[in-house]
Chains A and B, each alone.
Chain A
Amino acid sequence: MTLSFKPQETFRDDFSYRNSDEAILRFPFPFVEDSYMYSVNIEPHVKGGPTPAFHAAFDVDEHYVAECQERAIVLAQDPSRCKVLPHMIEAEWDTLELIMESLAADYPEHFSLTRSGTAWTWENRPLGIRDSFTFGDATTLPYGPFEYITRQAQGDFTLQDQRDDNLFVDGGMITCQADWSLEFNIGMSFHEWHGPVPLAHEKGVFDRALKYLLRLQNGQPVRRLNWTMTVNPRMDTSPENYPLWGADRTTVTPENVGRKLHLRVELQTLFRLPRSNAILFGIRCYLCNLEDIARVPKWGKRLHRVLRDLDPALEDYKGLTRYRQTAVAYLSRFDDGADLSLGIQPDVDRL
């Protein structure tokens, strides 16, 4: 399948972002069953899965060019969205190597990497980039190696150092986040940066997840899905820019909810990096409005049930309080109460 990029799309101002039918069908819908609660929902990140979003190490879709442009806008306004602590330089090169190798292998029509020892040439055709550089010598790239490659990838990324049987978020490229701040979190330990999450600490989710991740091995990445909701297709819902988007939550009405309110899904991937022994955490963000979700009958019904029965603590944490009932009322018209298949697959192959 050849990708047709949509470079004119925007995630701000006129919000011209839209999903094609194909993009809707490949959406990584996050609900396996009709209700939702936190769990250690981690599985091996192997190619293949319920939708094509799981078919590559780093998924590239029709929004690729537009998302890279959006990232550049955010960074121009606020360069602190990309920060890496000095001891993570090796992890920066590990990241560049992993993403370049993966993109070139998974999308050879769009990306290529040619190497002769440490003399590398990287070609990114969708963005019109062709750079030759020396692997290991940051002065031969226009940005640091981590910033250079994550400017050319969809989704946010963090780098975790492993020491003292813990993980520390010691770097990141964070421009499309669901209301958390790299500037605030950088240097924190695993339990510290998960501090605000309700209910899951008591369930022991983070203790188990940390033990699991400390043993994560190179070549055996894992993934999980997380979700929230966002008003308008806005990528940059950062605490830094809360004044720009916080008030959007008051603008949802029964008339506009179907197009204005988006299910925001994060396909989170975790890779052990080979030389630095750090962990690269990818947070690939997908947005789909309720109207489009409901075009997949199973998803419309299931989202209705999940939102209707959601634990109040999660409603509050995810910031859904002001519009959850409006969304539930809208989605109820699609839900005939039929039994739905387990799993996230759409169960239809066209819309």
Chain B
Amino acid sequence: MTTEFLVPLRVREVEPLSPLLKSFVFEAADGGPVHPAGAGAHLRLLLQNRHQRWKNAYSIVSNPHDRSHLSIIVRKVAQSRGGSAFMHTEVRTGDVLASNPPANLFPIAKTARRHVMVSGGIGVTPFLSYIRAFQSSGAPWELHHFCREDEGALFERLLAPYGGGRIHVHAGQDLSILDASLRSQALGSHLYTCGPGPMMDAVLEKAAGAGWPKGKLHSESFGGEAMGGAPFTAVLMRSGIEVEVGPETTLLDALEAAGVDAPCLCRGGACGQCETAVIEGVPEHRDHYLNEAERASNTSIMTCVSRSKTQRILLDL
């Protein structure tokens, strides 16, 4: 499942919402309907200029039932790796960007009777599509949004079209304002949180403290930790070649690109077909196939998902 599959998206509209926030509307480059995307789904855009490539994930904010376009909101991050700055300064109407199809690691719980959302800053984005979904299903919901004091007006304005009375913008306030609400939700409610990592952790901790079961707590993840990592070099003992594995490719993809006939099947770390003996170096195991003892022995690696902790890894290939 790590195999690259990209769809071309054309920028239909770029709209600045504030000095730091910009909204982008995409349509399918072939003129057809865009890929369907559920509430909570994200796009992983492949961005590149002459010097650098980025793969940045952004929550889709458009209505899941409308396939005429996909929208995202990008916050320009000062200490970012540069992808969000690229979006803000380089991407213009009419440009075509490559993206993975919408993927969803933050879906709505279908068996929930009531939905409570807690967001921080730009973390409100997945909840914009959530609210559209709740509006069409009629499910009850409420949103608590936290932001810096000086951004209160901005988020009030952004959220205004989404519904009266159920949205609470807490500008410049801390999470303790949630305490009463977390203690009084009806049985069958689910809680979702999206925002900076420490904030999500604090929300989940508060909810657990108020007696919420773990299965009813959800937090946003783009699954980024499973995707790439530090670059390394795979040295292939039998074929005598060295393969550079970049931060955004998998070992298996790099082997295949180098023309190596490497075994594989599921490409998701489950089937065991791509197991390859490690002669030197320490794998960073990310598969579901090897057991604890096998992992600890570091004598084999699943090339489709795992990487190397050492700068070089010597493989029996």
Q: From residue 92 to 106 of chain A, which have CB atoms closer than 8 A to chain B?
A: 94, 97
Indicate if the CB atoms of A87 and B266 lie closer than 8 Å.
no
Indicate if the CB atoms of B266 and A222 lie closer than 8 Å.
yes
Residues of B within 8 A of A272 (CB): 104
Q: Given A219-B101, A274-B35, A275-B37, A209–B107 Cβ distance below 8 Å?
A: no
Q: Which of B40, B268, B272 contacts A39 (CB 8 A)?
A: B272
- The interface bits of chain A over 277-293 (1 if a CB of B lies within 8 angstroms of the residue's CB, else 0) are 11000000000000000
- The range of chain B's interface size is 35 or more
Q: Given A41-B271, A207-B288, A276–B110 Cβ distance below 8 Å?
A: yes
Residues of A within 8 A of B268 (CB): 42, 212, 215
Residues of A within 8 A of B8 (CB): none
Indicate if the CB atoms of B215 and A164 lie closer than 8 Å.
yes
Indicate if the CB atoms of A212 and B270 lie closer than 8 Å.
yes
Nearest-Cβ distance from residue B55 to partner chain A, whole angstroms:
15
Taken together as a complex, chains A and B put the C-alpha atoms of A39 and B273 apart, in Å, by 10
* A216 contacts B by Cβ under 8 Å: yes
Taken together as a complex, chains A and B put the C-alpha atoms of A90 and B101 apart, in Å, by 19
Interface SS of B by simple majority: loop
Residues of B within 8 A of A126 (CB): none
Q: Given A41-B271, A219-B5, A90–B37 Cβ distance below 8 Å?
A: no
Residues of B within 8 A of A90 (CB): 110, 137
Nearest-Cβ distance from residue A49 to partner chain B, whole angstroms:
13
Nearest-Cβ distance from residue A140 to partner chain B, whole angstroms:
15
* A211 contacts B by Cβ under 8 Å: yes
* B36 contacts A by Cβ under 8 Å: yes
Residues of B within 8 A of A79 (CB): none
Q: Given A42-B271, A220-B1, A162–B101 Cβ distance below 8 Å?
A: no
Indicate if the CB atoms of B266 and A212 lie closer than 8 Å.
yes
Residues of A within 8 A of B215 (CB): 163-164
Residues of B within 8 A of A39 (CB): 271-272
- The interface bits of chain A over 184-224 (1 if a CB of B lies within 8 angstroms of the residue's CB, else 0) are 00000000000000000000100111011001111110100
Residues of A within 8 A of B64 (CB): 274-275
Q: Given A162-B107, A220-B1, A40–B272 Cβ distance below 8 Å?
A: yes
Residues of B within 8 A of A164 (CB): 215
Residues of B within 8 A of A273 (CB): 38
Taken together as a complex, chains A and B put the C-alpha atoms of A207 and B137 apart, in Å, by 34
Residues of A within 8 A of B133 (CB): 275
Taken together as a complex, chains A and B put the C-alpha atoms of A176 and B39 apart, in Å, by 34
Nearest-Cβ distance from residue A60 to partner chain B, whole angstroms:
22
The residue in chain B whose Cβ has the minimal distance to the Cβ of A43 is B265
Nearest-Cβ distance from residue A220 to partner chain B, whole angstroms:
5
Residues of A within 8 A of B110 (CB): 87-88, 90, 161, 163, 276, 278
Nearest-Cβ distance from residue B200 to partner chain A, whole angstroms:
18
Q: Given A90-B110, A277-B38, A218–B104 Cβ distance below 8 Å?
A: yes
Indicate if the CB atoms of B270 and A274 lie closer than 8 Å.
no
Residues of B within 8 A of A211 (CB): 270, 288
Nearest-Cβ distance from residue A136 to partner chain B, whole angstroms:
7
Q: Given A42-B270, A208-B289, A163–B36 Cβ distance below 8 Å?
A: no
* B3 contacts A by Cβ under 8 Å: yes
Taken together as a complex, chains A and B put the C-alpha atoms of A211 and B107 apart, in Å, by 17
Q: Which of B5, B104, B136 contacts A274 (CB 8 A)?
A: B104
Indicate if the CB atoms of B109 and A274 lie closer than 8 Å.
no
**Residues of A within 8 A of B (CB-CB), count:** 38
* B102 contacts A by Cβ under 8 Å: yes
* B267 contacts A by Cβ under 8 Å: yes
Q: Given A87-B110, A218-B101, A209–B270 Cβ distance below 8 Å?
A: yes
Nearest-Cβ distance from residue B171 to partner chain A, whole angstroms:
32
The residue in chain A whose Cβ has the minimal distance to the Cβ of B287 is A208
Nearest-Cβ distance from residue A128 to partner chain B, whole angstroms:
27
Q: Which of B36, B108, B136, B271 contacts A97 (CB 8 A)?
A: B36
Nearest-Cβ distance from residue B218 to partner chain A, whole angstroms:
10
- The interface bits of chain B over 74-112 (1 if a CB of A lies within 8 angstroms of the residue's CB, else 0) are 000000000000000000000000001111100111110
Q: Given A40-B271, A40-B272, A274–B1 Cβ distance below 8 Å?
A: no
* B41 contacts A by Cβ under 8 Å: yes
The residue in chain A whose Cβ has the minimal distance to the Cβ of B129 is A275
Indicate if the CB atoms of B270 and A40 lie closer than 8 Å.
yes
* B231 contacts A by Cβ under 8 Å: no
Nearest-Cβ distance from residue B222 to partner chain A, whole angstroms:
12
Indicate if the CB atoms of B270 and A220 lie closer than 8 Å.
no
- The interface bits of chain A over 243-258 (1 if a CB of B lies within 8 angstroms of the residue's CB, else 0) are 0000000000000000
Q: Given A90-B110, A115-B33, A274-B41, A212–B269 Cβ distance below 8 Å?
A: yes
Nearest-Cβ distance from residue A145 to partner chain B, whole angstroms:
14
Residues of B within 8 A of A87 (CB): 110-111
* B65 contacts A by Cβ under 8 Å: yes
Nearest-Cβ distance from residue B216 to partner chain A, whole angstroms:
9
Residues of A within 8 A of B65 (CB): 118, 136, 275
Indicate if the CB atoms of A163 and B111 lie closer than 8 Å.
yes
10 extra interchain contacts, Cβ-Cβ under 8 A, other than A97-B36, A278-B110? Answer: A39-B271, A87-B111, A212-B271, A212-B288, A218-B36, A220-B5, A273-B38, A274-B102, A275-B37, A275-B65
Please, could you name 19 A-B residue pairs with CB atoms under 8 Å apart, sorted by A? A42-B270, A42-B271, A87-B111, A136-B136, A163-B109, A163-B215, A164-B215, A204-B291, A207-B288, A212-B269, A217-B101, A218-B38, A219-B7, A219-B100, A220-B1, A220-B5, A222-B1, A222-B266, A276-B38
The 4 A-B residue pairs whose C-beta atoms are closest, nearest first, are: A219-B101, A212-B270, A277-B107, A274-B36
Interface residues of chain B, those whose CB is within 8 Å of chain A, are 1, 3, 5, 7, 33, 35-41, 64-65, 100-104, 107-111, 133, 136-137, 215, 223, 226, 265-272, 288-289, 291
